[in-house]
């Protein structure tokens, strides 16, 4: 078994590699990212996944039998142009798949997608619900899913699992994501002895999932789907939390008293989804997820 993790230096990538090392210390693991570095005793190769020639050479060299494709743009914002999302989330996936099928040997492929492919729907959404992405991030993830599906139909040596992730949070997440941004602002309040916390909309909700729990699910779903060429799973914890509730919990944990001032924003119009995770739950017990408050405390502790 030779495993490749793309986006290996990213938020999820680092946690996934660490987890894979724990479950099988002898597994051959390669990582690639835009910037080369050594992480968890693993040399990360510097590969631009939009460079077809470089990707092909790399894949022919390592000949992976299992791929976790985590690379791409994960931040949801109107500040990033469509062209960037399309190149990094869709075209890069196509280039990687084309290189993999040229091996003419079996490959198991795990694609990290997003519940944003459903758009803003009010009904409970299952893996069979209509896909109605209403933003460029969700649209390019939808296109990546369709790309994988097309390749699987054309190449019998390829097997794929799509994980539609709900909001991932955890220690050491970059700024630009809700939990890390709020923690940073709370730390600034403490440093400046201020008592006004300015935030975006607080009435939307998320199924927040700790990244350290999230990555343990990927190999389990890949293994559980061995008898199928293509499977899709909604992946989320039971933590259905309103943004405002999360902010207040963080303030309480930090022992900070502040007035929350919320202002509307058009940067991210995703309101939240009632996602059915029963398909995942048949494989992943609910006890696999750590308490939400524990995750928030860890994020606070890691924020400087």
Q: What is the pLDDT of residues 138-171, one digit of tens each?
A: 999 999 999 999 999 999 999 999 999 999 999 9
Question: What was the pLDDT predicted at 225?
Answer: 84
Question: What was the pLDDT predicted at 264?
Answer: 83
Question: What was the pLDDT predicted at 226?
Answer: 81
Domain range annotation of the chain: 2-168+207-235, 171-206+238-273+290-302
CATH code assigned to 2-168+207-235 = 3.40.50.720
Q: Where are the alpha helices (DSSP H) in the chain?
A: 11-23, 52-62, 82-85, 92-101, 136-154, 178-192, 211-224, 243-254, 278-281, 292-302
Question: What was the pLDDT predicted at 39?
Answer: 61
Question: What was the pLDDT predicted at 37?
Answer: 72
Q: Which residues of the chain have pLDDT under 50?
A: none
Question: What was the pLDDT predicted at 301?
Answer: 96
What's the fold here for domain 171-206+238-273+290-302?
UDP-galactose 4-epimerase; domain 1 (3.90.25)
Rounded to 5 degrees, what angle do the CA atoms 123, 129, 134 make?
80
pTM of this structure: 0.94
């Amino acid at each position: 078994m030779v495993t490749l993790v793309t986006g290996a230096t990213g938020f999820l990538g680092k946690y996934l590699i660490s987890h894979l090392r724990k479950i099988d210390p002898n597994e051959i693991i390669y990582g690639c990212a835009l910037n080369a570095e050594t992480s968890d005793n693993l040399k990360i190769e510097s590969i631009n996944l939009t460079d077809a020639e470089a990707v092909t050479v790399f894949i022919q060299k390592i000949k992976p039998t299992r791929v976790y494709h985590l690379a791409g743009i994960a931040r949801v914002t109107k500040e990033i142009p469509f062209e960037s999302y399309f190149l990094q989330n869709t075209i890069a996936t196509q280039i990687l798949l084309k290189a993999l099928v040229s091996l003419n040997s079996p490959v198991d492929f795990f694609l990290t997608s997003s519940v944003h492919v459903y758009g803003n729907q009010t009904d409970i959404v299952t893996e069979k619900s209509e896909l109605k992405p209403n933003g460029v991030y969700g649209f390019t993830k939808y296109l990546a899913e369709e790309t994988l599906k097309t390749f699987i139909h054309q190449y019998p040596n390829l097997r794929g699992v799509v994980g539609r992730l709900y909001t991932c949070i955890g220690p050491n997440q970059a700024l630009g994501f809700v939990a890390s941004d709020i923690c940073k602002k709370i730390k600034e309040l403490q440093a400046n002895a201020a008592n006004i916390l300015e935030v975006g909309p607080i009435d939307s909700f998320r199924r927040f999932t700790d990244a350290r729990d999230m990555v343990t699910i990927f190999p389990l779903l890949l293994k559980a789907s061995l008898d199928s060429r293509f499977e899709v799973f909604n992946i989320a914890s039971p933590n259905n939390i309103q943004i405002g509730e999360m902010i207040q919990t963080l303030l309480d944990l930090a022992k900070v008293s502040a007035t929350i001032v919320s202002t509307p924003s058009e940067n991210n119009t995703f309101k939240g989804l009632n996602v059915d995770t029963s398909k995942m739950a048949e494989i992943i017990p609910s006890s696999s997820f750590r308490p939400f408050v524990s995750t928030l405390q860890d994020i606070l502790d890691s924020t400087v």
